[in-house]
Structures are given as structure tokens and as C-alpha cells.
Amino acid sequence: MRAADEPPYGKIAPAPIEIPSCPYTRKSFTYDKSLKRATLYITALGLYEAYLNGKRVGDLRFVPGWTDYAKRVL
């Protein structure tokens, strides 16, 4: 006989969740002149963290924020 709080077919163990690792995109380059300003353009389906020379770029978290993919991604 089963307990009152037990489902009729017994307890169901949750399936393990596998989270794929994040891909890294790296590009090496050299620039001989003095650099005063640079612009980094990033596109992603989801969130990203950008690093330059091993240091995080900017101080914002969860960028680019909420995106309506039905309107932004074709």
C-alpha cells in the first residue's frame, strides 16, 4: 500500500541535466602604433562576457539584457 503523499506509480527520479560548455572565440592581433580608443562589436544568442588581455571588459552583468528573439533574430 502506498503513502498518501506518494504518486500512484511511485517516485520518479529527475533526469540528470547536462549543460554544454561555453564556446570560446579567440583572436590574436598586433598593432604597432599607440592606441587611444577601440570599439568591440559582439553578437550573441544569449549572454556573453568579453575579456581583453585576460581582463573583463566593462562592469555590467547579464549583457545584453532581455531580448525579444522573435523581433531581433530572423
pLDDT at 74 over 60: no
The closest of 46, 54, 47 to 26, measured between CA atoms, is 54
C-alpha cell read off for 26: 579567440
20-58 confidence digits (pLDDT tens): 877 778 888 888 888 888 888 887 777 888 888 888 888
Q: What is the mean pLDDT of residues 58-73?
A: 78
* Its pTM surpasses 0.75: no
Question: Are 47 and 62 in contact, with CB atoms under 8 Å apart?
Answer: yes
User: What are the extents of the domains in the chain?
Assistant: 20-74
pLDDT tens profile 7-25: 777 777 888 888 787 777 8
